[in-house]
Amino acid sequence: MSAKLTSLQGNKACALGAVAAGCRFFAGYPITPSSEIAENLSRELPLVDGVFIQMEDEIASMAAVLGASLGGVKSMTATSGPGFSLKQENLGYAALAEVPCVIANVMRGGPSTGMPTRPSQGDIMQSRWGTHGDHPIIVLAPASVEEVYRQTIRAFNLSEAFRVPVVVLYDEAIGHLVDTVDLPAPGTFEVIDRKWADGPVEGFEPYRAGEDGVPPMPRPGDGYRTHTTGLTHKESGFPTQVPAEVTRVTRRLLDKIEQHRDVIEQFEQVECEDADILVVAIGIAARASERAVRAARERGIKAGLLRPITLWPFPEEELRRLAAGARHVLVPEMNAGQLILEVQRLCPDSARVSGLNRYDGESTHPGEVLAKIEELNHE
């Protein structure tokens, strides 16, 4: 059952989705093209007993988000490329210390200050590998305004369930798009809260996980009096450099994601099952690709679209399965070639993988994807 049909901007949808998911703390810093997320939350959070704070910089915003989350409150920040670069320091802390948090990154042209008001998909790899060291992270890539709303809720749920930072990654085109949306009514969607430690205080180890690999979190004030650190730590929470211990705790951190791929992975398929030409794309490039695929089908070309909604971890098995039956794999993206690296890694030799790249500050157009599909079809 839906609440009502309404028109909504992508960034506003992100803000409203956050509140619906239970976000009660936002710390941010103004940056185009994501500022509407902060602006909307500065209006919404006072109404729900939450806290909004504009910090002195991007780094402080991320740090404040983690401080609030460590206190037990669902928290988020929002940014774009230059700010996302600065978030990486504390994003790594969130990954290692297992602090739930959500970061919306509205992609603009880069590198550096780049093109603040133009769309891009240049942060596909940074969203996975931006912070140093081996680390777990989940990245969700919505392609419509309604999906921004739903995936922001899902971002909080995954973050809480697995104590992992979750990035909601979309391009400026989606962020500033106004779509007609059909939002789920409150109470009709799942809202997950983190597992709190509630056992005996004596002998409690904050990073001792059960079979699901996710340790229950001690809430300050509940008597556990634990230590949280960005140093590599063992189950007790205190630092270790013992090789066997480091291997064990790092393995669990990474396995938290691998172990739960069935819940974390999400993708959409359009005409994929008999696809001869498989298109793989995210965000606004995927919307253009969907239109191109449907147009190609009308022309009798067996094209299909695999759209990862969960970008990282990448839907490896599904891509392998679909690519096995395809003659060509096409990766349209708004950068010089990032998503294609992952696709090439996973595709069997039989499928030729080609890219369709633009990095001129324009969105991928359906016409250029269709033209490329037709070109590949003739090969």
Partner 1 sequence: MSETAATVGRKHKFEIRDYLRLDMFPHFLCPGCGHGIALRALLWAIFELDIEKDQLAVVSGIGCSGRLSAYIDANTFHTTHGRPLAYATGLKLARPDLHVIVITGDGDCLAIGGNHLIHACRRNLDLTCIMLNNEVYGMTGGQVSPTTSQGRFTTTTPNGNREPGFDACALAMGAGASFVGREVTLQTTALKNLVREGIAHKGFSFVEVISDCTEIYGRKNELGSSPEMVLSQKRSVLPKFDGTTVDKPFRAGDWTTGVLTREERPEYYSAWREHCQRVLEKKGGRSS
Which amino acid does the sequence have at 186?
Answer: P
Report the relative pairing of strands 101-109 and 75-79 from DSSP bridges. parallel
Cβ distance to partner 1 smaller for residue 73 or 125 = 73
Which amino acid does the sequence have at 194?
Answer: R
**Which listed residue (22, 82, 184, 230) binds partner 1 by CB under 8 A?**
230
Could you tell me the smallest distance in angstroms from the CB atom of residue 223 to partner 1? 5
Cβ distance to partner 1 smaller for residue 30 or 46 = 46
Could you tell me the smallest distance in angstroms from the CB atom of residue 226 to partner 1? 7
Specify which residues 373 forms β-bridges with. Answer: none
Sequence-separated (6 or more) residues with CB below 8 Å from residue 252: 209, 213
Closest CA relative to residue 164, chosen from 152, 155, 173, 176: 155
- Residue 133 is a binding residue for partner 1 (CB under 8 A): no
Question: What is the end-to-end Cα distance of the chain in Å, rounded?
Answer: 47
Cβ distance to partner 1 smaller for residue 86 or 143 = 86
Report the relative pairing of strands 267-270 and 277-280 from DSSP bridges. unpaired
In the region spanning residues 14 to 53, those forming contacts with partner 1, defined by CB under 8 A, are 24-25, 27, 46-47, 49, 51, 53
**Contact region for partner 1 (CB under 8 A) — 59-67, 136-144, 151-159, 346-354?**
59-67
**Which listed residue (14, 20, 23, 64) binds partner 1 by CB under 8 A?**
64
Contact of 329 with 353, CB cutoff 8 Å: yes
Could you tell me the smallest distance in angstroms from the CB atom of residue 123 to partner 1? 21
Contact of 156 with 21, CB cutoff 8 Å: yes
**Contact region for partner 1 (CB under 8 A) — 156-164, 227-235, 253-261, 323-331?**
227-235
266: left (phi over 0), alpha (psi -120 to 50) or beta: beta
**Contact region for partner 1 (CB under 8 A) — 8-16, 67-75, 160-168, 174-182?**
67-75
How far lies 222's CA from each of 167, 193, 201, 209, 218, in Å? 29, 17, 9, 19, 7
- Count the site residues for partner 1 by CB under 8 A: 43
Could you tell me the smallest distance in angstroms from the CB atom of residue 225 to partner 1? 6
Contact of 274 with 305, CB cutoff 8 Å: no
Tokens of 43: 């209006």
Cβ distance to partner 1 smaller for residue 38 or 339 = 38
In the region spanning residues 292 to 331, those forming contacts with partner 1, defined by CB under 8 A, are none
Length of the chain: 379
- Residue 362 is a binding residue for partner 1 (CB under 8 A): no
Could you tell me the smallest distance in angstroms from the CB atom of residue 65 to partner 1? 6
In the region spanning residues 69 to 98, those forming contacts with partner 1, defined by CB under 8 A, are 69-73, 75, 89-90, 93
In the region spanning residues 196 to 225, those forming contacts with partner 1, defined by CB under 8 A, are 220-225
Give the containing element (helix H, strand E) for 181.
Answer: strand 178-184
Cβ distance to partner 1 smaller for residue 208 or 327 = 208
Q: Give the whole-angstrom CA distance, residue 276 versus residue 293.
A: 11
In the region spanning residues 237 to 296, those forming contacts with partner 1, defined by CB under 8 A, are 238-239
Question: Which value, in Å, is the radius of gyration of the alpha carbons in the chain?
Answer: 21
Cβ distance to partner 1 smaller for residue 47 or 244 = 47
Q: Give the whole-angstrom CA distance, residue 227 versus residue 24.
A: 24
The residues that touch partner 1, with contacts defined as CB under 8 A, are 24-25, 27, 46-47, 49, 51, 53, 55-57, 59-61, 63-73, 75, 89-90, 93, 220-231, 238-239
